[in-house]
Structure 1
């Protein structure tokens, strides 16, 4: 949720003509991860939750997509170096946390 909120905050500063292109793509990528986790948490069993976390893990593609979009945004001057580093770090942290949670739940089950 923190990553998605930060992406919204940062992309709100993008030029208005980017609101329905690059900014929208970044927002969608950032929102997909917590959405899949929330949907999985609502399932009845740990097995179902793990399955949805794996979807979120597969959605690491969304993290990589977001990172690529951040690189582009930084290169064209929409994203400051400070915000760029922050988003990349948040993506890396989220990737590690998802992997750790999945591993924990598989062994606890």
Structure 2
């Protein structure tokens, strides 16, 4: 037996994305004054998968859908932080582009799952 959220492709993709973001951030050299940004991007990137999992564990599809919306918000927050990191020169255009592609794929998967749940009438 395994947790039901582990069967969701979007959860698996979100976990891999979070690991990739964390690995990217670990290579960033920034002044001590920017540690809060480092912590925030780690929090927002991991929040994507965590909210998918938490929502899957809820009792209703309506609750699950709400957590998927929160997950999408965390994704958008992460993408904004990645753009800031790029503009600060902490990550290069290639890294940003690859992470954006992953982010767009996750966004599409979240949208599809939200739409599927909404069609069920819950």
TM-score, normalising length: structure 2 = 0.74
How many residue pairs get aligned? The number is 106
Backbone CA RMSD of aligned residues: 2.0
TM-score, normalising length: structure 1 = 0.81
Within 5 Å, give how 1:1-109 maps onto structure 2. Answer: 1-15=15-29, 17=31, 20-57=35-72, 59=73, 62-109=74-121
Q: CA deviation at 1:99?
A: 0.8
CA distance in 1, matches of 2:58, 2:77: 27
CA distance in 1, matches of 2:84, 2:69: 28
Q: CA deviation at 1:56?
A: 2.4
CA distance in 2, matches of 1:49, 1:64: 19
Q: Which runs of 5+ in 2 are unaligned?
A: 1-14
Q: Which runs of 5+ in 1 are unaligned?
A: none
Q: Residues 62-108 of structure 1: CA distance to partner in whole angstroms, max 9, x if unpaired?
A: 32322222222222221022211011111111111111001112223
CA distance in 1, matches of 2:103, 2:63: 24
